Structure 1
Amino acid sequence: MSAPPAEDRKNFSDLFDELEDLDDHVDDDEARAQLREVKELATDMQPDGTFGRVIYGFDANDLAEAALGSLLFGIPMAVEGGTNEAGEFLAGHLPLLAANAAAIVAIVYGLLYVAEFQDVRVADPFFGVIPRRLVGVLAASTVTATLLLTAWGRVAWTDPALAVATVSVAVLPMAIGAALGDILPGS
């Protein structure tokens, strides 16, 4: 008997769809915990490869990948004087600073959940709606930017508004690097 055509074969994305449908019908906390464990087991059983994997959960390995991606995109920002110039501009234009912060969140959300580099699933969101991976990637890039710019003397916290604006400028590309660093290895 021959194998079914490729378009008829089920893949891990289909398995996760089925498990998430089942999750909608499970009311018992113990059963939900078992279902979460099955999802994590299925994630671990996927064939090796960078693309086409289902990504579920967010752990210390994902955080480390996000921090590395953030550093790769952030080091040029830390040595480039334009980062400070842009920070000075944003510090004087608070609506644009707020727009920059909103753009960071929107771009990272888009990279993780919309662009479909990988099939990224939300696991155990904060308050039932805020994805842990989104928070982790944004936190990794923000902390990395703050530490890097401070340690290299690119920001002085004597003027907190200017420092925050300058860090915000660096966080934008660093958050992109963090998102890509997290999802492209496929873990």
Structure 2
Amino acid sequence: MEDRSEKDQPDVDEVLDELTDLRDSVEDDRQREQVDKTISLVTQLPRRERIRRRIGKYTTRDAAETFVGGIIFSLPLLVEDGVFDIAEHFTTTQVLNVPVFLIANVLFIVLVTVGLVYWADFRRVDVSKPILGFIPRRLFGILCISFMVATGMTLLWGRAFDGDPTNIEVIGRITIIWAAAAFGGAIGDILPGESQGKDLAPENF
């Protein structure tokens, strides 16, 4: 009987789904504010499986978590001289003067980041209010912040121009650190769950 009654109880994720759909369809600001308050109350309900909580908003705290995760994951690579060898491989292996492995590495970073955020079973992450109607804000934020972390740390620790590399080798070194920073940033963002705070949406500025 107890198991059946628990099974018949509404799932909080389903309630949040319905409320989010309602918020997106409401045009009146006051009504939308009421829906947001209701969503906030629902997310504060005690749950046995908080790890399954849905992530919809993208806040400044999410960006900070990406920044911290990117630094933590990129630090081990910054002290490895193997980064130089990989960067040289990226830039010297070319097809029709195009560094195909360097380009492939950038695509690899983007695809794996997408997989960690939206396909891996860490959290249920929604795409809401995308940039230009099709670029997910969270993905854009993770990739940009992690790239800035990679560039900044590579320059700060003197790893960018060590050994008098070519300009394209410098880019190659940064992309290697970027890979670790992007993966760490994605995990740092989504593992803690949805952050409280102001949603970083264009209409909120």
Range class of TM-score, shorter chain: 0.7 to 0.9
Larger Rg: 2
Equivalent residue, structure 1, for 2:202: none
Root mean square deviation, CA, Å: 2.8
Equivalent residue, structure 1, for 2:68: 68
SS at 2:51 equivalent:
coil
The equivalent position to 2:109 in structure 1, one of 104, 110, 114, is 104
Check 1:108–1:38 CA distance in 2 against 1; reply closer, same or farther (3 A cut): farther
Give per-residue Cα distances to partners, 1:31-77, cap 9 Å, x unaligned. 78548735862575254776111112111111111111111110001
Unaligned runs of 5+ in 2: 195-205
The equivalent position to 2:136 in structure 1, one of 131, 135, 140, is 131
Check 1:173–1:6 CA distance in 2 against 1; reply closer, same or farther (3 A cut): farther
Question: Does residue 113 of structure 1 match 2:118?
Answer: yes
Equivalent residue, structure 1, for 2:168: 161
Q: Is the 8 A contact 2:23 2:32 kept in 1?
A: no
SS at 1:5 equivalent:
helix
| Matched positions, count | 186
The equivalent position to 1:144 in structure 2, one of 146, 149, 160, is 149
Q: Percent identity?
A: 31
Q: Which amino acid aligns with 1:37?
A: D
The equivalent position to 1:178 in structure 2, one of 158, 174, 185, is 185
Q: Distance in 2 between matches of 1:84 and 1:43?
A: 50
Q: Which amino acid aligns with 1:110?
A: G
Check 1:32–1:141 CA distance in 2 against 1; reply closer, same or farther (3 A cut): farther
Q: Which amino acid aligns with 2:27?
A: D
Q: Distance in 1 between matches of 2:35 and 2:88?
A: 46
Q: Distance in 2 between matches of 1:90 and 1:122?
A: 33
Unaligned runs of 5+ in 1: none
Q: Is the 8 A contact 1:39 1:56 kept in 2?
A: no
Q: Residue 100 of structure 1: CA displacement?
A: 1.0
Q: Distance in 1 between matches of 2:7 and 2:70?
A: 37
